[in-house]
Amino acid sequence: MYGFSVQMSCGFDEAIEKVTEALKSEGFGVLTEIDVKATLKKKIDVDRKPYTILGACNPKLANQAINADPDIGLLLPCNVLVREEDDGTITVAFMDPAAVLGLVEQDEVRALASQVRDKLEKVRDQLA
């Protein structure tokens, strides 16, 4: 698996707000917000349910990772996906940093990935 998720039963915009606040509580900020629904509508005239990718970053841990391997930026930030399902529920899915950063064969990076995963799991648990 390369991710883990949680279901929410609120509106899409409220879910984005709750996810952003939960991320902040674990030291993450949202660097990017990609509105896939709007982009696909604009670029190829496809209608989709709401689907947004948040690029989350914990600056302290990101700095440690960059110090360990300057190319690690190719694998950052941690993506958090918020999407509306057909039944109206919201899925919040988290990239598993341990799976992705496991590609880097350095013990220091693997240890950092484990820390980031623990923090993202706490975010998931807050949203449950």
pLDDT grade, residue 87 (50/70/90)?
very high
Determine if the peptide bond prior to 59 is cis (ω within 30°).
no
Domain boundaries, the chain: 3-127
pLDDT digits (tens, 9 = 90+) for 40-50: 999 999 999 99
Judge contact between 39 and 75, C-beta under 8 A: no
Q: Which CATH superfamily is domain 3-127 in?
A: TT1751-like domain (3.30.310.70)
The mean of the pLDDT values for the chain is: 96
pLDDT digits (tens, 9 = 90+) for 24-40: 999 999 999 999 999 99
Average pLDDT over residues 50-76: 96
Q: Which of 82, 17, 84 shows the shortest CA–CA distance to 49?
A: 84
